[in-house]
Amino acid sequence: MTIQINTDNNLTVHESFGAKLHSLLSEELSRFSENITRLEVHLSDENGHKDGQNDKRCMIEARIEGRQPIAVKDVANTHDLAVSGAIDKLKSALEKIMGRLSTY
């Protein structure tokens, strides 16, 4: 499973945060690692340099073998919370898809 991290112009991902993100995604989605070929994580700050409520966005696109890619997003006050919310949504979506595949 390849993990690619993308950001908008308002954000720079430091090496430590990138390593933490890779580790978190690998751990949380390890159950689905055989089916996922690539994860693309898109982090953005919708208000740029201004402060605001729920302006940090995380969108995760999962490429699944033999299926169309799926994408989920979450918005929160911090990127950590946005990533966590997006991972939870992705796990739920993958459980539904894998559940359907196993019944057929």
Q: How many domains does the chain have?
A: 1
Contact 10, 45 (CB under 8 A): yes
pLDDT of residue 57: 92
Strand-pair category, 56-64 with 2-7: unpaired
The pTM score is 0.86
Q: Could you list the residue range(s) of the whole structural domain that residue 80 is in?
A: 2-103
d(CA 2, CA 9): 23
CATH number at residue 41: 3.30.160.100
**Measured in Å, how far apart are the chain's first and last C-alpha atoms?**
25
Measured in residues, the chain has a length of 104
Span 55-101, pLDDT tens digits:
789 999 999 888 899 999 999 998 899 999 999 999 999 999 887 66
CB 81 within 8 A of CB 23: no
User: In this model, does residue 11 exceed pLDDT 80?
Assistant: no
Q: Are strands 36-45 and 2-7 parallel, antiparallel or unpaired?
A: parallel
